[in-house]
Structure 1
Amino acid sequence: MNAKPVSTPKKTGKKGFETEEIVRSYFLGAGFFVVRGVKLRHAGDELTDIDLWLYERSATLARRRIIIDIKDNAQPKAAERLFFVKGLAELIQVEATGIATSDTRRSLRELARKHNVLWIDNADLQRLKSSERLTASSRITDEELNDLISKIDTSRASKNVRDAFSSVKSAVADRFGPSCANTALDGTLYFARMSVGSHPGSLAAQVFTRLTYFCSAIAAAALDFASGDSALRPHQERIVSLTDAIRFGEDPKGTAEKLKWAEAAIRDFAPNGAGLAEVIRNRFNEALRSVPAESLAEITAKMANSDRLFNAARDLEQAAFAINCPGFDNLTVDAKSFMGAVLDFISIDRVAFVQAWTPPPTPPTAGVALETADPSIAPPEVPTDGRLL
């Protein structure tokens, strides 16, 4: 009689997801803006995932992006991940990198220190996992949000919501700044319209409100990063710079040059080219002037003078993932100020947006104010001597 083969448990990846959530909670409590599960894309293809993408603003001119690779399993292949994340950081041009691994070898910590990589080993991970503050979170996880999105997509027999959400997340990887902000503003418009068009108080209204908050959070963080280039300029110059960034994206001068080239080509090769080129130029300039970018640039410049814009990004991200999703009126002052300016910019009626999602009668304290770091765990130093804790 043949013995039955021993079946191996199916790998679900649940342990890794839980570790990613705990590490994310830690960095959120330490004052970072964090996005989890960012897909790096090129020409429509998904190349790799970034487990955690962090943005830090520590002073008026000090801004930093950090990517963290997390592997919490029996065979973490930590050395390979170290080489991988260093190469990825160079490719997408972020300022710092880190590894969170179940590996325990001291030699790898020393190697990480030598190459200026933040190192979180198994002992560090166990301390994070034992923190009640981190494990008893008032947030929903990425997986739970994705489940909510799947329910909405299934009801609509499409994957449009998932794809729009992923597109905004992926923009932080290699286009963080004006281009990322524009992508996020497009996402905010899409999800805010869907929220207003949903039955008030429904699951769809809640999910679309969460996604509206999330996209606005990305836009706030990206504009805060973009404002660093003009932080020391006179106020009016800063507004002009941010207005151009909102209208044109990453390279206003490059866009203008492309338009001049297209105008010259039409003038030289199209019938009645000179007249047609002039009409197109005038129509394009009219369309640009109709974009109310000045108002959004004004409040962005004002909030970016201090850390208010960065705080708005963190508060909106927290609201997007709060177990009890807050309504617009329950947002923090900074989040409401920026969110209101964005709604005006994308021509979404504030009252209609407020009425789309009203939280349950229980006060939505969870998620409106950001959680603070567990005082028993030291704040991160990214990356100085390669150690975290």
Structure 2
Amino acid sequence: MNKNKEKGNILEESIRHFFLSEGFYVVRGIILSIDTDTITDIDLLLFKKISPLVRNKANVDIRNRKRPQTFERMLWTSGIKSLLGYDNCYLVSTEARPSMFRFAKNHGISLIAEPLTSYIENKYKKENLRLSEEEFCEKIRLISEQDQKEITSFKIYTYCREILPHEFNFDNLNQILNQIKEIFNLYIIQNKSENTVRVLYLTVSFFLLILDFILKDFYSLGKDDSSKQLSSIIRFGNNGKKQSELMLNRMTKLFNTISNSVQPELFDTVREKANDQWNKIPAEIISDFYTQEIHKNAIFDYAITFENLAYSTNLKTLSELTPNQKSILYNLCDFLNIDRKKM
């Protein structure tokens, strides 16, 4: 690694620790992509719980160069915020000019500049309780990464992170749940290896983060209503029950038209099997758990806790977790039909 890159990584990690200390959920080095096209990278992605009804999402651009091109990067950072619908954006620069602060203030950009930048770097650069992103990736990479067809911890890590820059929706939640099942299976197959434990904790934290952002919209509902809403999300995703049934009706009628025969009993059979598949999803296991008063106000904190567990230099095994942390994992095991005893 060249010295400039290494210096940039140190500053990024220091800024990450600064925002973590302020109660943010922080993800570093996010790749923004649409389908198979890579657009850009985001140095830090921030998530914050402001109140039971309000969440905040922000992007951070960090410039640690002799010529940081601060004004150009402010335009870029503000553009990312506007395009992705974030609430705030930050620019961290290693220079300081009065015109920079005026421009940032006039355009809604939060600017961290000298001498604060150096103060943050000096305060947090020797932090040794957490792995850096580079150290984390080194821990979870395996020789098997060369096999493009095989599911690995690193591929699960990469897939889940690609979801985070975009607007959270119900399908995202189900995608993360599918990845949690994959990492649970790897955890069992690989005999509880370090890489699977770390990615399990991190993937669970992503699930909790997205769940918290979704459930804020149900905060004013009673437990029964919010539980029903969450169950529907898990079963039907973004489409919802009514839209899913409507699509099923249209597909069945189209099939009958193509087959040039009227088979009303076929529609009943397809509808029955589809409903049977939907009903087999044990959504209430998750919805009943997280709509309890003891949990619903703490989901964001749970997300931060599991993220900290994933990056800790002193990795805890599942047996060393607190009873509450274990209950979160066991709840997911029950939903995903994974034997708790194998944990």
After TM superposition, the score normalised by the length of structure 1 is 0.81
User: Deviation at 1:267?
Assistant: 3.2
Seq. identity, %: 23
Equivalent residue for 2:224?
Answer: 236
Greater Cα shift, 122-131 or 334-343 = 334-343
Q: Is the 8 A contact 2:128 2:313 kept in 1?
A: no
For residues 209 and 272 of structure 1, what CA distance do their matches in structure 2 show?
Answer: 54
**By percentage of residues, which structure has more helix?**
2
Equivalent residue for 2:130?
Answer: 139
Equivalent residue for 1:150?
Answer: 141
Equivalent residue for 2:175?
Answer: 183
Q: Is the 8 A contact 1:109 1:119 kept in 2?
A: yes
Equivalent residue for 1:249?
Answer: 237
Equivalent residue for 1:322?
Answer: 312
Residues 105-132 of structure 1: CA deviation (Å, up to 9, x unaligned):
2211221122222211132211111215
Structure 2 CA distance for partners of 1:13 and 1:328, relative to 1, 3 Å:
same
2:283 maps to 1:293: yes
Q: Is the 8 A contact 1:21 1:141 kept in 2?
A: yes
Q: Is the 8 A contact 2:141 2:195 kept in 1?
A: no
For residues 251 and 113 of structure 1, what CA distance do their matches in structure 2 show?
Answer: 40
Tell me the secondary structure at the aligned position of residue 48 of structure 1: strand
2:186 maps to 1:212: no
User: Deviation at 1:255?
Assistant: 3.9
User: Deviation at 1:185?
Assistant: 1.2
For residues 77 and 294 of structure 2, what CA distance do their matches in structure 1 show?
Answer: 30
For residues 230 and 300 of structure 1, what CA distance do their matches in structure 2 show?
Answer: 12
- Among 254, 264, 273, the residue aligned to 1:265: 254
For residues 24 and 99 of structure 1, what CA distance do their matches in structure 2 show?
Answer: 13
Q: Is the 8 A contact 2:171 2:238 kept in 1?
A: yes
Equivalent residue for 1:275?
Answer: 265
2:163 maps to 1:171: yes
Q: Quote the RMSD (CA, aligned, Å).
A: 2.3
Tell me the secondary structure at the aligned position of residue 265 of structure 2: helix
Equivalent residue for 2:83?
Answer: 91
Equivalent residue for 2:46?
Answer: 54
Structure 2 CA distance for partners of 1:334 and 1:117, relative to 1, 3 Å:
farther
Q: Is the 8 A contact 1:266 1:276 kept in 2?
A: no
Residues 185-226 of structure 1: CA deviation (Å, up to 9, x unaligned):
1111111100111135xxxx1101111111110000101110
Residues 4-24 of structure 1: CA deviation (Å, up to 9, x unaligned):
xxxxx9566111111111111
Q: Is the 8 A contact 1:168 1:215 kept in 2?
A: yes
Gaps of 5+ in 1: 1-8, 354-389
Q: 2:57 is aligned with what amino acid?
A: R
Equivalent residue for 2:117?
Answer: 125
Greater Cα shift, 151-160 or 23-32 = 151-160
Structure 2 CA distance for partners of 1:88 and 1:259, relative to 1, 3 Å:
farther
User: Deviation at 1:159?
Assistant: 7.0
Q: Is the 8 A contact 1:39 1:166 kept in 2?
A: no
Gaps of 5+ in 2: none
Equivalent residue for 1:75?
Answer: 67
For residues 22 and 303 of structure 1, what CA distance do their matches in structure 2 show?
Answer: 35
Q: Is the 8 A contact 1:24 1:52 kept in 2?
A: yes
- Among 21, 24, 33, the residue aligned to 1:29: 21
Q: Matched residue pairs, number? A: 340
Structure number with higher relative contact order (C-alpha < 8 Å, ≥ 6 residues apart): 1
After TM superposition, the score normalised by the length of structure 2 is 0.91
